[in-house]
């Protein structure tokens, strides 16, 4: 059972976490991990000069929560705008509740800038819970050819290039997010001469992906479910079975999954049964700012190494 909070305690929680606000993206409140009873539908983030709250479900206290956030935003005086997204409604509409949205706002993480858009899409273009996964890539990319599957806006690619990768291949079937990924590289003055952007359906493009390999570091970070293109329960295994075709002799894999209904053993078993040459090394810890009552229902970042002697 999670910690029980009333509305005033929630405000105090936000205030404590906002005390050391910087430009860096910071989650002020994470209810999605069920660590706080009664607020599993709410997240609140500080994104540069924007206070951004997401309501994932309709709740009887929604109007009271919005009013509290407005008062909190005004009293703190740390942001230029308060934006609230109602994810549970069709189209996931967002509204500027107070202030004025800056002409330019970026998600800033470890000094890198990422384009974000608060008003025109379900996801703003950045996933803050993956910070430790991106740091792993940054720390292990030097001199390596990197494959970034389900690249979205290419945050792993930025970190790989900063970490000294020789090349990165980003694959995502959505051309629009790849365009944002290119812009993210430009924003951070990263040379894209050795960065490739492939707008392909991964499950139908193995020959194209294989052509740029073999890869020394592979990132698998799919959506848990995307209608018509990917379902982790059925399709994750299709990637694991293909790893031998484009992995180098000492390839490292960061295998991610954010489906609450599938635990880390799901991924480990896929590797044991379909890619036994890859051995499990570790699970990366999640950020403290994303508390969960059950870690197996939260983000899972598992590291596997080809030909590794690490015992399972």
> What string of pLDDT tens digits covers the 312 residues of the chain?
678 889 999 999 999 999 989 999 999 999 999 999 989 999 999 999 999 999 999 999 999 999 999 999 999 999 999 999 999 999 999 999 999 999 999 999 999 999 999 987 789 999 999 999 999 999 999 999 999 999 999 999 999 999 999 999 999 999 999 999 999 999 999 999 999 999 999 999 999 999 999 999 999 999 876 776 788 999 999 999 999 999 999 999 999 999 999 999 999 999 999 999 999 999 999 999 999 999 999 999 999 999 855 444
108 with 47, same domain: the answer is yes
Task: Decide which of 66, 87, 115 is a domain's last residue.
Answer: 115
Q: Count other C-beta atoms under 10 Å from residue 16's C-beta.
A: 10
What is the number of domains present in the chain?
A: 2
Task: Decide which of 56, 86, 115 is a domain's last residue.
Answer: 115
Bond preceding residue 214 cis, omega within 30 of 0: yes
Angle 208-167-270 (CA atoms, 0-180°, nearest 5)?
Answer: 60
Only one residue has tokens 């890198």, namely 112
149 with 26, same domain: the answer is no
148 with 90, same domain: the answer is no
CATH number assigned to the domain comprising residue 60: 3.30.750.80
106 with 189, same domain: the answer is no
In a domain, 231, yes or no: yes
Task: Decide which of 92, 115, 138 is a domain's last residue.
Answer: 115
205 with 232, same domain: the answer is yes
Alpha helices per DSSP H over 171-277: 175-187, 206-211, 232-240, 243-246, 264-274
Q: Which of 267, 276, 273 is nearest to 302 (CA)?
A: 267
In a domain, 120, yes or no: no
206 with 98, same domain: the answer is no
23 with 110, same domain: the answer is yes
pTM as predicted = 0.94
């Amino acid at each position: 059972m999670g910690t029980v909070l009333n509305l005033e305690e929630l405000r105090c929680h936000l205030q404590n976490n906002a005390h050391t606000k910087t430009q860096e993206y910071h989650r002020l409140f994470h209810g999605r991990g069920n660590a706080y009873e009664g607020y599993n539908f709410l997240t609140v983030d500080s994104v540069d000069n924007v206070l951004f709250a997401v309501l994932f479900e309709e709740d009887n206290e929604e109007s009271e929560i919005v009013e509290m956030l407005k008062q909190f935003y005004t009293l703190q005086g740390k942001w230029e705008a308060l934006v609230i997204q109602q994810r549970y409604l069709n189209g996931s509409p967002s509204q500027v509740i107070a202030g004025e949205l800056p002409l330019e706002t970026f998600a800033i993480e470890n000094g890198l800038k990422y384009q974000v858009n608060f008003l025109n899409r379900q996801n703003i273009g950045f996933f803050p819970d993956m910070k430790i996964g991106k740091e792993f890539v940054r720390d292990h990319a030097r001199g390596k050819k990197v494959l970034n599957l389900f690249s979205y806006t290419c945050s792993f690619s930025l970190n790989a290039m900063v970490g000294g990768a020789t090349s990165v291949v980003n694959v995502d079937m959505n051309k629009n997010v790849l365009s944002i990924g290119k812009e993210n590289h430009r924003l951070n003055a990263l040379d894209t001469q050795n960065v490739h952007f492939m707008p392909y359906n991964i499950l139908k493009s193995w020959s194209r992906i294989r052509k740029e390999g073999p890869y020394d570091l592979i990132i698998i970070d799919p959506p848990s479910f995307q209608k018509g293109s990917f379902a982790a329960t059925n399709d994750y295994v299709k990637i694991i079975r293909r790893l031998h075709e484009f992995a180098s002799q000492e390839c490292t894999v960061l295998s991610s999954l954010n489906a609450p209904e599938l635990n880390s053993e799901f991924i480990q078993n896929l590797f044991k049964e379909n890619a036994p040459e890859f051995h499990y090394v570790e699970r990366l810890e999640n950020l403290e700012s994303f508390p969960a009552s059950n870690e197996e229902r939260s983000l899972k970042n598992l590291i596997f190494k080809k030909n590794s002697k690490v015992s399972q």
